[in-house]
């Protein structure tokens, strides 16, 4: 089934916060590399996390949790990445190490959404619990955008490396569903083409 793509929206039409449907129709991620302060304050972040946790969750298992990186904890997280990167790639240059060090400092606030599924649940398959964590990520992106911030859901090597994850306090059965970078965009990204629904939809 060939996927047809819509034309991009003009930049000025993106992230229209005049209404919920308008925002969903025009939502565009920010670039994690182009986020600066301010980020959400304590009350705003609490509100964002409350919204993020309001997702479909079969069996009320809460199979996800958050780790917040703000302020100097972003530097400590960067140190974890540098140490591990150095172990994995001893031949890197200083410039690459510097990039790793500032990975969390690119935005004022980074929220790791940790997928924490209940193992061998008699009724709820793990698949459903993983998808619920994805819904948490997307809720957080939408809520942060609705609050006027820029947000991007990213992963990268440091979402998958078991030693990094252990340093961040994840247990063996837990995984990073995403790092949600939140802040003030220094530039608005242009749109990208989106699938035309008719080209990806059949009727049974």
Ligand X SMILES: Cc1cc2nc3c(=O)[nH]c(=O)nc-3n(C[C@H](O)[C@H](O)[C@H](O)COP(=O)(O)O)c2cc1C
User: Where do contacts with ligand X occur on this chain (CB under 6 A)?
Assistant: 28-29, 152-156, 178
Phi, psi of 57 (to 5 degrees): -150, 90
Q: How far apart are CA 112 and CA 91, in angstroms?
A: 29
Q: How far apart are CA 132 and CA 121, in angstroms?
A: 15
Question: Rounded to the nearest whole angstrom, what is the least distance from the CB of residue 154 to ligand X in the complex?
Answer: 4
User: What's the gap between Cα 191 and its chain centre?
Assistant: 18
Q: How far apart are CA 57 and CA 136, in angstroms?
A: 10
Between 71 and 186, name the residue whose CB sits nearer to ligand X: 186
Contacts of 88-92 with C-beta under 8 Å, sequence gap 24+, read 88/161
Between 125 and 190, name the residue whose CB sits nearer to ligand X: 190
Question: Rounded to the nearest whole angstrom, what is the least distance from the CB of residue 65 to ligand X in the complex?
Answer: 17
Between 48 and 94, name the residue whose CB sits nearer to ligand X: 48
Between 122 and 156, name the residue whose CB sits nearer to ligand X: 156
Question: Rounded to the nearest whole angstrom, what is the least distance from the CB of residue 123 to ligand X in the complex?
Answer: 26
Question: Rounded to the nearest whole angstrom, what is the least distance from the CB of residue 103 to ligand X in the complex?
Answer: 11
Name the token pair of 111.
């929220």
Question: Rounded to the nearest whole angstrom, what is the least distance from the CB of residue 80 to ligand X in the complex?
Answer: 18
Q: How many CB atoms lie within 10 A of CB 11?
A: 13
Between 36 and 155, name the residue whose CB sits nearer to ligand X: 155
CB 62 within 8 A of CB 114: no
């Amino acid at each position: 089934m060939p996927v047809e793509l819509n034309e991009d929206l003009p930049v000025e039409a993106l992230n229209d916060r005049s209404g919920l449907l308008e925002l969903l129709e025009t939502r565009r991620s920010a670039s994690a590399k182009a986020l600066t302060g301010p980020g959400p304050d304590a009350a705003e972040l609490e509100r964002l996390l409350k919204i993020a946790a309001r997702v479909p969750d079969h069996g009320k298992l809460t199979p996800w949790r958050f780790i917040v990186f703000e302020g100097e904890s972003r530097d400590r997280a960067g140190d974890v990445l540098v140490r591990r990167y150095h172990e994995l790639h001893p031949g890197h240059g200083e410039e690459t190490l510097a990039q790793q060090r500032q990975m969390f400092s690119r935005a004022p606030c980074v929220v790791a959404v940790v997928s924490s599924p209940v193992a061998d649940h008699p009724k709820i398959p793990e698949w459903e619990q993983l998808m619920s964590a994805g819904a948490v990520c997307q809720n957080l992106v939408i809520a942060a955008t609705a609050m006027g911030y820029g947000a991007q859901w990213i992963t990268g090597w440091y979402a998958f490396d078991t030693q990094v994850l252990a340093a961040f306090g994840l247990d063996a059965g837990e995984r990073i569903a995403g790092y949600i970078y939140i802040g003030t965009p220094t530039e608005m990204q242009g749109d990208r083409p989106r699938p035309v629904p008719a080209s990806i939809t059949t009727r049974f």
